[in-house]
Homo-oligomer: A and B are copies of this chain.
Amino acid sequence: MTDATLTGHSLIAGTTLPGTAGTVSGFDPRDDSALAPEYSLLAEDQVEAATRAAHEAFPAYRALDPQRRGAFLDRIADSIEAVREDLVARAMAETGLTEARLNGETTRTTNQLRLFADVVRRGDHHGVRVDPAQPERTPLPRPDIRQRQVPLGPVVVFGASNFPLAFSTAGGDTASALAAGCPVIVKAHNAHPGTAEIVGRAIAQAAEECEIHPGVFSLVYGPGASIGQALAADPRVKAVGFTGSRRAGTSLMATAAARPVPIPVYAEMSSINPVFVLPGALKGDGAAQALAEGFVGSLTGSSGQLCTAPGLVFVPSGDAGDRFAAAITEQLDDVAGQTMLTRGIAEAWQTGADALSDQEGVDELARGTDGPTCNAPAPLVLSTDTEAFKDNGELQAEVFGSASLVVRYTGVEDLVDSIRALEGQLTATLHLADSDLAAAQRLLPELEDTVGRILANGWPTGVEVGHAMVHGGPFPATSDSRTTSVGTLAIERFLRPVAYQDLPEGLLPAPVAVDNPWNLNRRIDGETTLSGKDAE
């Protein structure tokens, strides 16, 4: 696919729909040049076409058997692989991210789709529970009760600026919603409209090839917030997945809560991912140096534009901590800024970095060099202490990009107090040695109450897509700490339980049917029984 084949329009249930609310272009952030074609934007009253189609597609789509739904997800992955070269090229132009990063992100995206295809075929997400009838029970017989999870209905997914593939058109929310049996409407991010279209067309093609109702997927372009609010308010929409700013996320939460029928919003918003360097981690030759290297790499990769970038590092006071701080200064000195995703994001980074630098008790610790393009500011590390940190919530403001704050602390109880002052986070990282185990044990429950993922002796960037991953956490990291946006548990965010009591056998849906035709693992009277893949 080349630029010439991009239509520049929304894609509603397999059909191109020109918008009537103006146009937008992608820009190459390396030189702020506009990229062809222009994309027409839907007016608020045009998005109903997408929600109506999704609503129409829902009954047939949710009824698909596991093989067909799984095949659809696999086919989407195939379709994306088939356009990989054009896709990566376009994404590079629209985001300034490197080819290696975007190739990796493409692989992650298709692996994610295939992983959810496996989840669909395995079927544990049906959550089948059976309490068989007890006709002889006294004083009253017990009825036969069967439970399964059903999909919520059409889901709106907002593409994220910083992951044009893995958190956008065919990203995690789309994959998990489709896996759950929910049609998806993607609101394209205006920073990468062409990337969105290439992926959107791949999905639509997969639906056509798999003979699935085309309303199962639509891709809409619109003028910023208004169309997103219209989608979140539409009565046919049953859930929202979002990755982006705290302001936009909380605004969607408010819209969803104010509907006549409120719906869940899964917004991933803001996280500064504290790192706790415990004293033992700095002992030994080269330890401080190696840690500083890891930190600078994690902070500056992808220009720091990762939800899990380490924006806060607690470093012990004293000589060892001083050596670590000095190593950061030294290492960052010759690191050049990389091009950020958009001019707006680069400007917001500068504003945020300036605001943080201006806070009382904050000093500059390290600075890299400006990068080769107009939107590649020098990475920055500031420094303060826990006293200043605990008293000033402004020091927790996320500066999206390569900026971080080193906070010097004096002991484990000082860290406990600092954790209690923290807002909810996606991740927390401990750097520790055996000698730090008691301190880490003291911190662990505090961290469990504050974050979604706890790491040791690594860096939070680079989120594994698997069964055990949690990419979530207490507000404002996300709007709903009970779920994750990465990993297979994410399918559960788009499901709800239904119980069937004494239904005639001919009426029971397959997942709860008496002869278990889909060979699902089930809980029978509360006891897990393996009947599926796991029993082999």
Chain A residues within CB distance 8 Å of chain B: 59, 62-63, 118-119, 122, 124, 129-131, 140, 142-143, 145-147, 150, 152-153, 253-254, 257, 261-262, 264, 424, 430, 432, 434, 437, 440-441, 444-445, 448-449, 451-458, 462, 464, 466-470, 472, 474-476, 479-484, 488-489, 495-504, 506-507, 509, 521, 523, 525-530, 533-534
B534–A462 touching, CB < 8 Å? no
Q: Nearest 4 pairs between A and B by C-beta?
A: A470-B499, A129-B468, A147-B468, A455-B501
Complex Cα distance, B455 from A145, in Å, reads: 9
For A449, list chain B residues within 8 Å (CB): 150, 153
Apart from A122-B526, A143-B458, what are 5 other A-B pairs with CB-CB below 8 Å?
A: A430-B503, A456-B504, A456-B507, A527-B534, A530-B530
Instruction: Kindly state the separation between the CA atoms of A496 and B473 in the bound complex, as whole angstroms.
Output: 9
Assembly of this chain: how many copies?
2
Option from B152, B454, B503 in Cβ contact (under 8 Å) with A501: B454
Q: Are A534 and B529 in contact (CB under 8 A)?
A: yes
**A444 and B475 contact, CB distance less than 8 A:** no
Partner of A467, one of B131, B488, B502, B507: B131
Taking CB atoms, residues of chain B closer than 8 Å to A253 are: 257, 262
CB–CB B456/A528 < 8 A:
no
Query: In the complex, what residues of B have CB within 8 A of residue A464's CB?
Result: 131, 142-143, 145, 501
The answer to whether A526 and B488 have CB atoms under 8 Å apart is yes
Option from B150, B453, B456, B533 in Cβ contact (under 8 Å) with A498: B453
Whether A479 contacts B150 in the complex (CB less than 8 A), given A129-B468, A456-B502, A467-B525, comes out as no
Given A454-B499, A455-B501; A475-B262 close (CB under 8 Å): yes
Q: Known contacts A424-B261, A526-B122: does B445 contact A59 (CB below 8 Å)?
A: yes
- A452 touching B498, Cβ below 8 Å: yes
From the candidates B264, B430, B468, B496, name the one contacting A130 in the complex (CB within 8 A). B468
The one of B59, B468, B528 in contact with A521, judged by C-beta atoms closer than 8 angstroms, is: B528
A147 to B488, CA, bound (A): 12
10 contacts between A and B (CB under 8 A): A143-B455, A147-B467, A264-B482, A453-B498, A454-B501, A455-B501, A467-B526, A470-B498, A483-B497, A488-B526
Interface pair A497/B472, CB less than 8 Å apart: yes
Distance of A506 Cα from B530 Cα, bound (Å): 32
Cβ contacts under 8 Å, A146 to chain B: 468
Given contacts A257-B254, A437-B507, contact A498 B454 (CB under 8 A): yes
